[in-house]
A = this chain, B = another copy of it.
Amino acid sequence: MAGLLNHFAVTEEQLDLNALLAGITRDSTGAAAIFTGMVRGRSSRPGFPAETNYLEYEAYVPMAEEKMRQVAGEIRERWPDVEGIAIVQRIGVLYPRTPTVLIACTAAHRDTGVFEAARYGIDRLKQIVPIWKKEVGPGGAEWIQGDHRPSPGVD
């Protein structure tokens, strides 16, 4: 699959959206859909911590980057007009308002599925990419546990 514009990373560095976008842009590119997640400092949704001081992320880095590659492959299968895909997770101690994750998909035009592709990317990342976060708030520290059990051979 030479020539595919892919960028997968687990990093402790700040996410630079400008650079990440430029990295998956080529001459034929006319549109990008980007998702970013941020640390919520407070939440009113039931089941979520009302107040968070910070999150601490860890990852099984080589497997995470492999699984990001798999997610990108699934995206290309479903939306073959997607040109570039960046999937980046920041790890370490991250404070409220900080972008923690980015999924960006580029294509020639916006009607190619780029929005759906980015949405699919973040949904799949949260299912199968081995990353975990511990929430530290006024009540102490707690690992946040996902609810997806991957099916070997499928996930």
Contacts and interface: CB of A to CB of B under 8 A. Distances in A.
A30 interface: yes
A108 B36 CA distance: 12
24 contacts: A16-B18, A17-B18, A17-B21, A18-B18, A22-B97, A25-B38, A27-B40, A27-B42, A27-B96, A29-B97, A30-B40, A31-B35, A31-B37, A32-B36, A32-B37, A32-B38, A33-B34, A35-B110, A35-B115, A37-B110, A44-B108, A45-B108, A110-B122, A115-B119
Interface residues of A, number: 39
Interface string A81-120: 0000000000000001101000000101110000110110
Number of copies: 2
Nearest to A20: B17
A8 to B, nearest CB: 19
Contacts of A115: 33, 35, 115-116, 118-119
Interface string A1-34: 0000000000000011110011001111111111
A74 to B, nearest CB: 18
Contacts of A39: 30
A130 interface: no
Given A27-B42, A33-B35, 17 more contacts: A16-B18, A17-B18, A17-B21, A17-B34, A26-B97, A27-B41, A28-B40, A28-B41, A28-B44, A29-B38, A29-B40, A31-B35, A31-B38, A32-B36, A35-B110, A43-B108, A110-B119
